[in-house]
Amino acid sequence: MHDGRIGAREAAARPRRRLSPLSIRLAATVLLLTATSAAPAQEPAHDADRQRIEAVVGRLASPAMQGRRGEGAEKAAAYLVDEFRRIGLEPLFDGKFTQPIPGKEPGTVQGTNLGAMIRGADPKLKDDWVIVAAHYDHLGVRRGVLYPGADDNATGVAMMLEAARAFASAGAPPRRSVAFIGFDLEEIGLFGSRYLVAHPPMPLERVALFITADMIGRAMMGVCKQQVFVLGTEHAPGLRAWIDEAARDRPVRVSLLGSDVLILNRSDYGPFRTRQVPYLFFSTGENPCYHSPDDRPETIDYAKATVITRIIRDVARSAADAAETPRWNPNPDNPLAEAATIRDVLKELLGNERPLKLSGAAAYLMRSTLGDAEAILGRGAMTPAERARLIQSTRVILLMIQ
């Protein structure tokens, strides 16, 4: 995930509303109902998927890969191309697994996107595409200190390889063609994905769905252990049914958010969003190890990363095989579930007020925003104005705590 911090913090003082006793009662009912929902089934604790994910993360975050910059990035690219070959994929870029990204000076190369594919088998759908992508670069070695980037984004790359393996070893080929892409230079303003969108290996209007994951092995602020955040369904609401299906009975909560909760495009979905390609962005969010030398493999929650990988794999398969896929919706359709996501996160953060050393101002804004979210959920409806206020407060809270 690239550092989207902006210089000026938004000041968003806003009037605090009082809740009516009725909305408090309704909100309490919703909370009770939520709390009594069935416990999810257990996933196998040690399994082959998880072992492969651990191996990929361990390899990409090892000192030999030098935080996947410079020579380390070249080594990582060679390793990933070997994996593409071992899985039995075809090259994506005119017979090659690599797409060099030219540097400023003529004849120079500043990075390399990686890509592989499985051809679709349906005569009518095989020219349509699903893309599963993750960036493999990270921050490198700075002043002699290694930034291993285990979560950012070795976990996402491990997911991409697992999805590829699942498609390659499934009994039947997908109906649509599926591309697996490793982006370079994400940490430098999404340069790799911007370059690919400008020089796409397939017509972008034939991309039915672009899915990327960036950081899927930790917990937001170290405390939102249950959640994976999913952005992008507002532009293709039909994707929600596939996500629900893929996440059913799994011990991770899929938490929907509109992409506008982040002020900038923070990962490789950005260039696809700009081109109005339906997309999904999965992330467990910023955590205390984000962009630090502590982003090491031994502190990843592999059980969680494995579950999220399976969810993404299943959504990709649905998109590859469905008779129809959701089209781009230019007017964002924001579900009520977004207010539930914000409520859940705020409750988690406020429940850890001391360990997180929340400032009084941050805690105050969180409580007030939590009240707003609960009132919205209690009424079972959210107006555009209420949503705008909720998102604005959430953005300010994110800026205050990160």
Q: How far is 220 from 284, CA to CA, in rounded Å?
A: 6
What kind and span of H or E run contains 91? strand 90-91
| Rounded least distance, CB 293 to Zn ion, Å | 13
Site stretch for Zn ion (CB under 5 A), options 34-42, 50-58, 150-158, 259-267? 150-158
End-to-end CA distance of the chain: 14
Closer residue to Zn ion in complex, CB, 145/241: 145
Closer residue to Zn ion in complex, CB, 135/240: 135
294 DSSP assignment: T
Site stretch for Zn ion (CB under 5 A), options 69-77, 152-160, 224-232, 369-377? 152-160
| Rounded least distance, CB 226 to Zn ion, Å | 23
| Rounded least distance, CB 294 to Zn ion, Å | 14
Site stretch for Zn ion (CB under 5 A), options 11-19, 100-108, 147-155, 164-172? 147-155
| Rounded least distance, CB 306 to Zn ion, Å | 21
| Rounded least distance, CB 1 to Zn ion, Å | 4
Closer residue to Zn ion in complex, CB, 1/164: 1
Closer residue to Zn ion in complex, CB, 1/134: 1
Site stretch for Zn ion (CB under 5 A), options 8-16, 145-153, 156-164, 314-322? 145-153
Site stretch for Zn ion (CB under 5 A), options 140-148, 151-159, 301-309, 311-319? 151-159
Cβ pair 333, 234 in contact under 8 A: yes
Cβ pair 272, 207 in contact under 8 A: yes
Burial 127-138, CB ≥16 within 10 A → b, else e: ebbbbbbbbbbb
Closer residue to Zn ion in complex, CB, 1/209: 1
Site for Zn ion in 14-53 (CB under 5 A): none
Token code pair at residue 68: 């996947």
Cα angle value 141/147/151 (rounded, 5°): 150
Q: How far is 27 from 32, CA to CA, in rounded Å?
A: 9
Closer residue to Zn ion in complex, CB, 91/293: 293
Is residue 216 a contact residue for Zn ion (CB under 5 A)?
A: no
Is residue 1 a contact residue for Zn ion (CB under 5 A)?
A: yes
Q: How far is 193 from 273, CA to CA, in rounded Å?
A: 11
Cβ pair 69, 191 in contact under 8 A: no
Closer residue to Zn ion in complex, CB, 152/268: 152
Cβ pair 228, 284 in contact under 8 A: yes
Upper half-sphere CA count for residue 373 (Cβ side, 13 Å) = 25
- Amino acid symbol at 369: T
| Rounded least distance, CB 167 to Zn ion, Å | 27
Cβ pair 173, 227 in contact under 8 A: no
| Rounded least distance, CB 3 to Zn ion, Å | 7
Candidates 54, 152, 268, 338; binder of Zn ion (CB under 5 A) is 152
| Rounded least distance, CB 187 to Zn ion, Å | 5
- Mask: binding to Zn ion, 97-136, rule CB under 5 A, as x and -? ----------------------------------------
| Rounded least distance, CB 265 to Zn ion, Å | 13
Is residue 295 a contact residue for Zn ion (CB under 5 A)?
A: no
Token code pair at residue 129: 């595409």
**Nearest Cα to Cα of residue 134 among 313, 377, 277, 399:** 313
Which ranges of 248-401 would DSSP assign to H, the alpha helix? 269-274, 302-321, 337-350, 360-379, 384-401
| Rounded least distance, CB 267 to Zn ion, Å | 8
**DSSP strand E in 7-84: where?**
none
Closer residue to Zn ion in complex, CB, 208/219: 219
Residue 18 burial (10 A CB sphere; 0-12, 13-18, 19+):
exposed
Q: How far is 254 from 243, CA to CA, in rounded Å?
A: 8
Residues within the interface to Zn ion (CB under 5 A): 1, 152
